[in-house]
Amino acid sequence: MNGEGQIYVLSGPPGAGKSTIAARVRADMPDLAYSVSLTTRAPRPGEKDGVDYHFVSREEFQKRIAAGEMAEHEEIFGNLYGTSEKMVRQVLEQGQDLFLDTDVNGAESLRKRFADGVFIFLVPPSPTELERRLRGRGTEDEDQLAQRLGRVKYELSKAFNATYLVVNDDLDRAVAQVEAIIIAGRCRTSRHLKLLDEFQDT
Amino acid sequence: MNGEGQIYVLSGPPGAGKSTIAARVRADMPDLAYSVSLTTRAPRPGEKDGVDYHFVSREEFQKRIAAGEMAEHEEIFGNLYGTSEKMVRQVLEQGQDLFLDTDVNGAESLRKRFADGVFIFLVPPSPTELERRLRGRGTEDEDQLAQRLGRVKYELSKAFNATYLVVNDDLDRAVAQVEAIIIAGRCRTSRHLKLLDEFQDT
């Protein structure tokens, strides 16, 4: 392996199955590092600062956004969540591969900062299935549903920017595909230049 | 999946383990197509024309080389062996993925004709192990060995051109890596543009 680690980013619209798949991949590949997110949310009982999240004030978080330190961030129910570019780079510089899951906007931001990253986009199997999943929640009226569908369609348009597309019609297969993409990423020739040089030096 | 299939080419110097790994991958992934090679060698008992090889005369083979029809060819013990570009394109146009194993020169020729192919280069784990394997054959004197080693070193310099590098220090792992590369190749976003368009069209 060469010095630098590789960043793998799993994204996709809500309901595509990101967190389920990310948890399975992390369990199967414990050598993948992750980056502890920053948040302005208060710690829940049992959560440890620096382990579950880096808990910071809203002022501190916004200062970091203004300084361009955040590789991606989003606001959920009034709390900010995000990834520090510096922390990601530190992990990569130690030669560790890093695996992140994030929403579509987060992946777009990361793509701008980590152009040689591996971006995996998770999609539902078909437009029909997408609508069925969104309807399945049963908590929205037709107007809200149409709005939500429009939003997801916009997010899906960002899939064209991803390196890889994984269709989540079968959970086991989707997990296997994400893992295959990570294994393949580790086989990229650019990651083995040192070994290739050794063959030429002897 | 989109219309066109993808070509996967496994190459590497002699002794890297190409044929063993190729046979395992073909057994595990029976949906991978292959291209029947052309040869000027006489059929052996039980070999069928068009199945094991396309058996052609030397004149016919050389006519095809001159016409630029051969995607790669090599001469082994006075017989010509090679792959027809036309036959490969026919398989790909049918939407089938094609998996080939070939020597390093063959892969270089294929790379020029199939620029978007996935090229996998197999290497021994280290220079020391390479020499041990070459010595292990025990059939050559020091001069021949040095010549052979120089040749392999030249071939290894072509690894820089490959998309992926697989280090064959453990057969099972090498097979798993080649298979992961093929699975990842099938997840490339460019192969799912039709599905992505469907999401935008509804």
**Mind listing the pLDDT tens digit for each residue in B115-154?**
999 999 999 888 888 888 878 766 678 888 888 888 888 9
Kindly report the nearest CA distance between residue B200 and chain A, in angstroms.
6
Q: B118 and chain A: CB distance < 8 Å anywhere?
A: no
Q: How far apart are CA B101 and CA B119, in angstroms?
A: 10
Q: Give pLDDT tens digits along chain B (202 positions).
A: 457 899 999 999 987 889 899 999 999 999 999 888 999 999 999 999 998 899 999 999 999 999 999 999 999 889 999 999 999 999 999 999 999 999 999 999 999 999 999 999 999 888 888 888 878 766 678 888 888 888 888 999 999 999 999 999 999 999 999 999 999 999 999 999 988 998 888 7
CB contact under 8 A, B200 and A156: yes
CA–CA dist B180, B70 (Å, integer)? 29
For residue A30, the 8-state DSSP code is T
**Across the interface, which of B153, B183, B195 has its CB nearest the CB of A199?**
B153
Q: Judge if A176 and A102 occupy the same domain.
A: yes
Give me B195's structure tokens. 């599905």
Å from A188 to nearest chain B CA?
A: 4
Pair B127, B170 in one domain: yes
Here the CATH number for the domain that contains residue B159 is 3.40.50.300
Q: What is the pLDDT of residue B141?
A: 82
Task: Record the tokens describing residue B77, joined without a space.
Answer: 């013990």
A29 Cβ under 8 Å from any chain B Cβ: no
Q: Which pLDDT score is estimated for B2?
A: 55
Residue B58, pLDDT score: 96
The list of chain A residues with pLDDT below 70 reads: 1-2, 137-139
| Rounded CA separation A144/A150 (Å) | 10
Per the structure, the complete domain to which residue A127 belongs is given by: 1-33+96-202
* Shared-domain flag, residues A65 and A91: yes
Give dist(CA A82, CA B61) in Å, integer: 62
Q: Are residues B53 and B137 in the same domain?
A: no
Q: Which of A157, A165, A176 sits opposite B192 (nearest CB)?
A: A165
Please report, rounded to a whole number, the percentage of residues in chain B having pLDDT higher than 90. 70
* In a shared domain, residues B27 and B65: no
Same domain, A24 and A114: yes
Q: Find the residue in B nearest to A146 (Cα).
A: B202
Domain holding A47: CATH number?
A: 3.30.63.10
Under 8 Å between Cβ of B122 and B68: no
Sheet holding B118-123, edge to edge: B98-101, B7-11, B118-123, B164-167
Are residue A147 and residue A180 in the same domain, yes or no?
yes
Q: Does B145 touch chain A (CB under 8 A)?
A: no
- State which residue of chain B sits closest to A121, comparing Cα positions: B189
Asked if the Cβ–Cβ distance from A181 to B185 is below 8 Å, we say no
